[in-house]
Structure formats: C-alpha cells, structure tokens
A = this chain, B = another copy of it.
C-alpha cells in the first residue's frame, strides 16, 4: 500500500508537470537540453564512479554482453552529451498548426500538435537510454517516468539527478518532468496507472515487451519480435541478392532488423543457395532449411514449424524454397512480425506487388533489412521501432511523441444558428494543411 502510494504520488506529479511542460516555449526547452549536455560532461567522474559500483556488484552475475551494455566510460559519456545536443537541434514537434479551417465567418478551427502527456519508459541495462528518452521527452514536452534495469540503479540515479538539476536551473520548467522509478514492484503499479500515464514505451527482450503488453490497459508502443525476411525473387539479380542476404543476416545479428528467414524462389534456389552457404560459412552461420533446401545444401539442419516464427538474434538462419511471390508474401504475413521485410528483384511489378501486400512497418526493395532504423531513416532521434498498426509504425522519431488538439475560436457562435432548414451553412474553407 505504501509503495502504491509512492507511485501514485509520482504519477500525479508527472501529470501536473506534463500540463505545465506542454506550454513551455521551444527556446526554454532547448536551453535546458544544451545545459544538460554541459552538465553531463561536467559530471563525468561522478557518473563513472556510480557506474563502477554497478559494474562491481554485477560482476559474475550477468553475461559479458550485458556487462558491456552496462558499462559507461569516457567515450559513452561524450556520446550522451552529443546526443542531447543533437536532440536540441531538432525541430520541436509540438505547437505546430497542422490544419486551419474557416468553418464560417469568425469561426476558425485549428488542429495543433501537442505533447501526448505522460510517458513511462521501461527498459533494461543500458544507462544511456535514461538520457536519450529524457532528452526526447523534454524536447517534445512530455513528462516521463523512467525505470531501468536494477543492475544499473546507481548509474541511473546519478543521471536522473543531473537531468533534474538541469531542468531546475530554468524558470518555468517543472522538475518532475523527469522521474525515476527504482524497483520492479513499482513497475507493476505503474502498469495500473491508466488514469495518469498515456503511453508506455518498453525497450528490451521479446519476453519483457510481451509481459508489458499483456499486463496493462495503457497503450504500449514498441515491438516484441523482429522476425524479418528477405525474399529472393525469380527475377533477382543474384549478385545483389547475395550482398543483401549476407548484410541482412551478418552485419549485426543481435538486433531486431536482422533477417531471420530467407525465402528463395524455386527457380533461383539452386544457383544462389550454394554460393550463399559459402558466404555464411565465413561467419559460421547455422543454416536450417526445409526439404527443398536440404536437397540443395547437404547436411543442413531441418527447419521445423517453430523456426519460421523464431527470432534467433544470432548467427542462425532458416531458409525456405517457395514456388512463387504469392507464397513468399503469404509466408511473411503469416509468420513475420510486421517489422521489416525485403524483396530482391529486378522486376518492378513484382516489387510493387510485394510492397503493397506485405503488411509490415518497413518494406525494402533491393536493399538490406538493416537500414530499418531511425538514424538511417534520417529521423534525427529514435524513440524506438514500433510494430503497432495505430499511431506510429516502423522507426519512430519525435513525431511519435505528439498528438494534436482542436482549437475552435468564435465570437459567440452557437450551434442552434446552424440547425434546421433555415440554419446558417458552414463554409469549411481550408486555410492550411
């Protein structure tokens, strides 16, 4: 009960802060961000010291990959500061007049972008997410509740303290725009706070994201799985196909936009699979195939039904031979996760069909699935990658943190004057947008 009370109090503070933050000028928010970048650099030693405590208490308890993500050094701190400055330089996504309509003389409707309100971001290990999400939230005018992994608690505490002090230095900015949640139990309480929190952004493993999605009424933006496909069409350029298939699988297999399943058209399978197997051999990629694949590539492990819906996140690849583009599209829409899927073909009609019918956030034609990323897409900063079908889809930039409100200005206008047969008529003259 005590815990619930604490979280409720934090949520109320966040809600209050969000209302005030939503009306702060862009310039003030940018000053806070520039000062924050300075403060991060000035507090280098303090951050590294706190991180040292986290590293020592995690030693031997977590994998070396996780230790690497947890570790904060001079270089990472410089990168954090640079990231905050780059967010400051972006255009403020809120306060834009998206549309303006004259409903009638003196009755003007504006559709204005506004921050969503209160966002909870729940993530694992990497402490730089604290700085990244806080910067994006401040820029877009959203209050944020942050919960990082418990192994990073000391680092996260210091980072949030620095952020809050940067906010406090600037008049009008509510300090509770950024707050830290400290325990896993608090997350459970947060999931119930649908009266206060408008959006949850989970960043972490599939299992973690699915848990969040399944245990709250609050909208969740993100992706659980990244089961990405490359389909090599009958009319593919084989050299391009080999480049793209290798890059999509091997350039960085641990991330969500790496290929998990390769679909090869029956008429090219014999030409391409042996060459690909040789390429993949360089990186010791474990191949799993259907029976047609195993006739071409001897000794390859059998792919089971489960393989088609597995995100390996590793040097493992399932391969299937398909009879035509329709079978490929059907397979992707059935087993894929709507994240990123690619067709390799020289035939434009086939590409257009694939682009139309594959129901994914990003569809690639003759380029690697690995391009599916906010930085590469030029969004400036990435909130995350979404496989949602509403609000924001694919790599999400700052525009995913705003919604709009309608503002109608009149001069004593009332509806009864516009009703009935003799009522006034609306003009609906679009002035903007």
Q: Which residues of A contact B (CB under 8 A)?
A: 19-20, 22-23, 101, 103, 107, 109, 116-117, 198-199, 213-214, 217, 219, 221, 237, 239-240, 243-244, 246-247, 251-252, 333, 351, 353, 355-357, 359-368, 370-372, 376-378, 388-391, 393-395, 403-416, 418-419, 426, 428, 430
Contact = CB atoms under 8 A, between A and B. Distances in A.
Contact of A367 (B213, B362, B388, B408): B408
A76 to B, nearest CB: 17
Given A219-B219, A362-B406, A367-B408, 4 more contacts: A23-B353, A363-B406, A367-B409, A389-B403
B244 A414 contact: yes
Contacts of A410: 364-368, 371
Contacts of A251: 414-416, 419
Contact of A359 (B117, B366, B393): B117
A426 B368 contact: no
A406 B390 contact: no
18 contacts: A19-B359, A23-B357, A101-B377, A103-B377, A103-B378, A107-B371, A198-B390, A219-B388, A240-B411, A243-B412, A243-B414, A351-B409, A362-B406, A364-B408, A367-B408, A367-B414, A372-B406, A390-B390
| Highest count of chain B CB atoms <10 Å: which of A101, A363, A377, A406 | A406
Contact of A412 (B361, B367, B428): B367
A92 to B, nearest CB: 14
A377 B104 CA distance: 10
A408 B109 contact: no
A251 B213 CA distance: 42
A97 to B, nearest CB: 12
Given A101-B377, A426-B378, A412 B363 contact: no
A425 to B, nearest CB: 11
Contacts of A408: 362-365, 367, 371-372
B368 A415 contact: yes
Contacts of A23: 353, 356-357
A355 B407 contact: yes
Contact of A368 (B353, B377, B378, B413): B413
Contacts of A413: 366-368, 371
Nearest to A367: B410
A412 B371 CA distance: 12
A103 B376 contact: yes
Contacts of A412: 237, 239-240, 243-244, 366-367
A74 B388 CA distance: 42
B377 A406 contact: yes
Given A391-B390, A405-B363, A370 B415 contact: yes
B416 A405 contact: no
A403 B414 contact: no
Nearest to A356: B23
A393 B378 contact: no
Contacts of A247: 414-416
Contacts of A351: 409
Contacts of A368: 410, 413-415
Contacts of A219: 219, 388-390
Contacts of A404: 393-394
A378 B428 CA distance: 6
A116 to B, nearest CB: 5
Contacts of A426: 376, 378
B22 A356 contact: yes
Contacts of A394: 404-406
Contacts of A367: 107, 408-414
